Amino acid sequence: MDFAFNSLLRRKGKNSALFVVYAGIIFLVSSIVFSSESIKRESRILLENSPEIVVQRTIAGRHDLIPEQYIEQLKSIRGVQEAKGRLWGYYFEPGVQANYTLVVPDEFLYGPGYIVIGNGVSKTFLAGKGDLLPFKTSDGSYASLEVADILSPDSEIVASDLVLLSESDFREMTGMQKGFYTDMILKVRNIKELPTITDKIRRILPDTRPITREEIMRTYEAIFDWRGGILLAVISGAAFAFMIFAWDKATGLSSEEKKEIGILKGIGWDTSDVLFMKTWEGLIISLSAFFLGVFFAYIHIYFTSALLFMPVLKGWSVLYPEFRLVPFLDMFQIATIYFLTVAPYTVATIIPSWRAATIDPDSVMRL
Amino acid sequence: MPSRKSDFFIAFLVICSIFLLLMTVHAAFSVRHAMQNIQAKARMVRELHLTDLCLFTDARYTRHPSMADLHTAFQDHPMSFEHFPSGTVVAPPPHIYHYGLDQ
């Protein structure tokens, strides 16, 4: 192993550059695996509590308001335990250029004239408890609503942009007439009957589309699946960079390295000794890069709240949630990163060494 | 006292393995610590009947991707390209493909 070290140090510049880029690739891959797994697992726990079925009405391919009469029709479906309308919508605040989500809770304790806001709304509006916030209503006038409470900053991942308000204030602001809802939610008796119930909904109310809880959860799994979508694109970039490395290694050793192998064989080293030394060289670089890459990725995702990924997540949003990811870390993730990065590199370094180690030392030394 | 380079490397690997172990211990404790907070958020999701995480607030189909339909990408014009940066990050929900264009 000492010989391998000295061999690496003889090509200090090349190997340090290789190490830095290799560790960088492992950092990127690990950061993606850690952050996507964390968001996926947290979203699964949270969205397990979302409505069992949401029924949306669509007209001309667009989401439309759903009339109250649909509630009775939905309730008449066997297996449906409860059906009720949901009132929610968006509000664009031109002053701060932010989009808020208006939600009417089943029971709004504070009543008309008051609102409860998410932490993101509080930050963009610079509003605190007791402040009066002006909201433009559908007829162009302004309604001033008093901030009764601010939702905990810990809840930003689900509630950062929420404005909770009473039904009357919501209808006044949005101009939504009584007897209409944004969509409907259903509770079913037996979760196994969901496919049958959704089929019946599509038959009885053909202008609607049911969205089940499982579909809601799968949406987030699809977004944050690191084997697909944007994350795959980022990982592919890293994989290509890695492939160039592997290719560089696999296409052959430098004449200096070949000469070194030739001399070693000339002084009596076996092919297995040379391979052993080259394996150590590969392992020294890849293991060091692996550990450093993984450690820095862990710090990046869980201690700096994914500082480098934030610009991507923020997009054009004025209001973006600030939350700390929970490290749902397991050995499977570490093993995945290891086999995606260390194993191919080690193999890529051994093959050309084996080729060089099996040829005649005399011809290698003459290079 | 280690004096050979290989001794230093072995020591480095041992320290890294200990750090890796500490990382998993830290993760386990953090999850346990965060569970109470996650449960509070889950309660909020249940009580307010929420369907989506608040990750991107610039477009309605990225704020509530699970509620989006296949036409939202073309909301401004049938041939319009994606407008918001977050729209390139958020993939359409899988259930849209399952039920076809009408849904």
Q: CB-based contact (8 Å) between B53 and chain A?
A: yes
Do A188 and A332 have their domain in common?
no
Q: Kindly state the percentage of chain A with pLDDT values over 90.
A: 43
Query: pLDDT: is A222 or A252 the higher one?
Result: A222
Report pLDDT for B98: 62
Report pLDDT for B57: 84
Q: Kindly state the percentage of chain A with pLDDT values over 70.
A: 90
Query: pLDDT: is A300 or A251 the higher one?
Result: A300
Joined tokens for residue A124: 């963009």
Report pLDDT for B103: 45
Do A330 and A253 have their domain in common?
yes
- Judge whether A143 lies within some domain: yes
DSSP secondary structure code for residue B76 in this structure = S
- Judge whether A292 lies within some domain: yes
Residue that has been written with the tokens 């307010």 in this structure = B48
Report pLDDT for B101: 46
Do A111 and A201 have their domain in common?
yes
How many Cβ atoms from other residues are within 10 Å of residue A109's Cβ?
A: 11
Q: Given A182, A212, A242, which residue is the final one in a domain?
A: A212
Do A267 and A206 have their domain in common?
no
Domains: count for chain A? 2
Ranges of H-type helices in A113-224: 119-125, 156-159, 167-174, 194-204, 213-223
DSSP secondary structure code for residue B92 in this structure = P
Helices (H) and strands (E) in chain B, counts: 4, 0
Residue A8 pLDDT greater than 90, yes or no: no
Domain ranges of chain B: 1-50, 60-99
Interface of A with B in 323-362 (CB under 8 A): 326-331, 334
Q: CB-based contact (8 Å) between A218 and chain B?
A: yes
Report pLDDT for A82: 93
Residue A18 pLDDT greater than 90, yes or no: no
Interface of A with B in 67-86 (CB under 8 A): 86
Q: CB-based contact (8 Å) between B67 and chain A?
A: yes
Do A115 and A158 have their domain in common?
yes
- Judge whether A104 lies within some domain: yes
pLDDT in tens, A44-57: 999 999 999 999 99
Average the pLDDT over each of A70-74, A135-139, A142-146, A278-282 and give the range with the smallest value: A278-282
Report pLDDT for A320: 75
Amino acid occupying residue A75: K
- Judge whether A217 lies within some domain: no
The rounded distance, in Å, linking the Cα atoms of A145 and A240 is 54
The rounded distance, in Å, linking the Cα atoms of A161 and A118 is 5
The rounded distance, in Å, linking the Cα atoms of A8 and A16 is 9
Average the pLDDT over each of A113-122, A296-305, B81-90 and give the range with the smallest value: B81-90
Q: CB-based contact (8 Å) between B79 and chain A?
A: no
CATH number of the CATH domain containing A138: 2.40.40.20
pLDDT in tens, A153-210: 989 889 999 999 999 999 999 999 999 999 999 999 998 899 999 999 999 999 999 9
Report pLDDT for B82: 67
**Given pLDDT bands bounded at 50, 70 and 90, which one contains residue A250?**
low
The rounded distance, in Å, linking the Cα atoms of B23 and A327 is 9
Residue A138 pLDDT greater than 80, yes or no: yes
Do A184 and A300 have their domain in common?
no
Q: In a mutagenesis test of the A interface, which of B17, B30, B38, B54 is the best target, namely the one with the most A β-carbons within 10 Å?
A: B54
ipTM of the complex: 0.81
The rounded distance, in Å, linking the Cα atoms of A134 and A125 is 10
Domain with A127 in it: 53-212
pLDDT tens digit at each of 103 positions of chain B: 556 777 888 888 899 999 999 999 999 999 999 999 999 999 999 999 999 998 888 888 888 888 887 666 666 666 666 666 676 667 777 776 665 544 4
